[in-house]
Chains A and B, each alone.
Chain A
Amino acid sequence: MNFLAAAPDLENISLLNASIVAVLGYGMVFAGLIVLMIVVTMLGKAFSAKNKKQNEAPAAPVAAPVVSAPAPVAPVVSDAAPGSAGQLKLYDTPPKTAAMIMAIVADKMGKPLNELRFISIKEVK
């Protein structure tokens, strides 16, 4: 396959033809990846919709008994878990990042996480 078969001489290509090839090539890469982006986006949306449906389906039957017979509030405990050293205060730090930081600190100190007490984590801006 030769896109520029009509071009006079690609071996000793002229500057004009070289610029055309360069622009066309860059455009081709963009076009290819844009189409791929659209396809991947559609694929992602299709899977997100499917997952949403799957998540909604089992939720419905469970929801009904909860409404008719509300569970006692007692089990929702605000106390710390057994062995806990209290609550950790997070300032501008998402819980996932905090978990990662705590794991890194424990690893670096060579101590198990349950032997360390973190009082607060604050993002340094």
Chain B
Amino acid sequence: MIDIGEVLLNLWNSSGFAALSSGFMDGGWQNLVMIVIACVLLYLGIVKQFEPLLMCGIAFGCLLTNLPNAGLYHDELWQAFMNPDSPAYHSYGAIMQNGGLLDIFYIGVKTSLYPCLIFMGVGAMTDFGPLLSNPKSLLLGAAAQLGVFAAFFGAVCLGFKGPEAASIGIIGGADGPTAIFLTTKLAPHLLGAIAVAAYSYMALIPLIQPPIMNLLSTPAQRRIKMVQTRKVSKAEKIIFPILVTAFVALLLPDTAALIGCLMFGNLAKETGLTDRLSDTMQNALMNIVTILLSTAVGATMVGTNFLTAQTLKIVVLGVVAFGLSTAGGMLGGLVMCKLTKGKVNPLIGSAGVSAVPMAARVSNTVGQKNNPSNFLLMHAMGPNVAGVIGSAIAAGFLLSVFG
């Protein structure tokens, strides 16, 4: 006869509750704290609507990875994957053989597949028309990368290593896929903290940017109305992605994957002949990859990696990076305002951080608060999409230096 007591005891011993209680002082408390953090992130995503599409996935991945004995994600496997002395060094076979579900999801992050596919969807959803009709917008997209390099320097000052500092700095680009792309390559152990910081601050753009925008401009400047830009032909829109891909990939070959996918997505949209592809990129593919990417990134938030002083520093540096990028864009806008004798509203500069289209909407909202009849949205979309290209170039440069 089966010993029911033994069965129940075995059941208890194999449960996560037993693992939590027996190993509480040996790291179990970290799992508990991380589960609480996962719940906080879920609250932010669901109740406060902070980038819910990504935040919910990240938070749920965090929850799953911190459930003891679930075996969905194995940080030690990935450490062995990165260790040149380990037999599992760079062996995806070892991951497939020994890994859990989230380990297999994470392969797509590690190989940069997901960020590139997300960029493809972003490209298919982006209209570069406002940028083409006003190419000077590209300068604002460049100016708004100030936060990337300032935060990089700040991170080095705070004791981070070069590749870690580069990954932290890219938070200032306000571009989630780019931040994940660079961090996976340079500092994978910081991925969870950097992704959470990047997406949280992107959700907080309507709160972070307006005070800086108001501080750096006068009410008269904020009231400036901009003239309508020229209409862009379809041929220009088709040539643009091809041109940008060739130029940027030749300049910084490390960005070829990101820029190539972004521009391929855009080309599929602009040709008008590949609507099925464009539709898939914008919807089905984007949604599937978002699920895989967010849960995989959340899975990297294991207590030993996340509950460190480094995470707090990353959170602080992230907001500094966002603020300085906004300031950089605004200063670029002010210079253009001066040079054009008041024809450019400096508020469009802050849209140079690449959070599309949130940053452009903020420029429009702040402009309308000062002049209700002022519509800056389309003018701000130019710097906004320029910021996507700018942050990809910044990431490519940092990858070239530290990769």
Which A residues are closer than 8 A to B by beta carbons?
Answer: 1-4, 10-13, 15, 18-19, 21-26, 28-30, 32-37, 39-41, 43-44, 47-48, 51, 93, 96-97, 123-125
Contacts and interface: CB of A to CB of B under 8 A. Distances in A.
A44 B163 CA distance: 39
Interface of A is mostly: helix
A9 to B, nearest CB: 8
Contact of A25 (B133, B149, B162): B149
Contacts of B148: 25-26
B402 interface: yes
A30 B264 CA distance: 24
Interface in B358-403: 371-373, 375, 386, 389-390, 393-394, 397-398, 400-403
Interface in B229-244: 230, 232-233, 235-236, 239-240, 243-244
A13 B393 contact: no
A43 B145 CA distance: 25
Given A30-B142, A32-B251, A36-B244, A43 B239 contact: yes
A37 B373 contact: no
Interface of B: 131-133, 135-136, 138-139, 141-143, 145-146, 148-150, 152-153, 156-157, 161-163, 165, 228, 230, 232-233, 235-236, 239-240, 243-244, 247-248, 251-254, 371-373, 375, 386, 389-390, 393-394, 397-398, 400-403
Nearest to A14: B156
Contacts of A29: 142, 145, 390, 393-394, 397
Contacts of B248: 32, 36
Contacts of A25: 148-149, 152, 394, 397-398, 401
A24 B148 CA distance: 12
B162 A13 contact: yes
7 contacts: A10-B401, A18-B153, A25-B149, A26-B149, A33-B390, A44-B132, A125-B371
Given A11-B162, A25-B149, A29-B142, A97 B252 contact: no
Given A2-B401, A33-B138, A47-B233, A18 B243 contact: no
Given A13-B161, A40-B138, A44-B132, A123 B373 contact: yes
Contact of B138 (A28, A37, A48): A37
